[in-house]
Amino acid sequence: MPGTCTGTLDLLSFTCQVSQSLCLVNKPIATSRSHSRASSPTPALTSRRLGRRPSDVSREVAKDQTSHWPEITQTRRRCRLCSKLATCLCKKCSVYLCLSSSRNCFTEFHN
């Protein structure tokens, strides 16, 4: 006898639950935090504060061989290829790369 035992579903209810769960497969789960305050919203964290590098340059843009100009800056950041400190920034890609007599990561990155 269908439905007499607790915890059993009829076919329509089961199908609805399966379809709802499949629709939610790739969506983030909203969690509630009991220790957080609802009155003070948390500020949005930038990629700089999280230690992540900015979005990657597409391969087509980096390898297109047009308008890639090195700009020497006062700030020193890690080279995208060798991870050493570099002051040369590609103006088109916005990526720091080494450009010196001993290392030429700028050319290697764009070829």
Which residues 6+ apart lie within 8 Å of 63 measured at CB? 110, 111
Dump pLDDT digits (tens) for 45-104: 555 555 555 557 777 788 887 888 999 999 999 999 999 999 999 998 889 999 988 989
**pTM greater than the 0.85 cutoff:** no
What are the boundaries of each domain within the chain?
A: 57-111
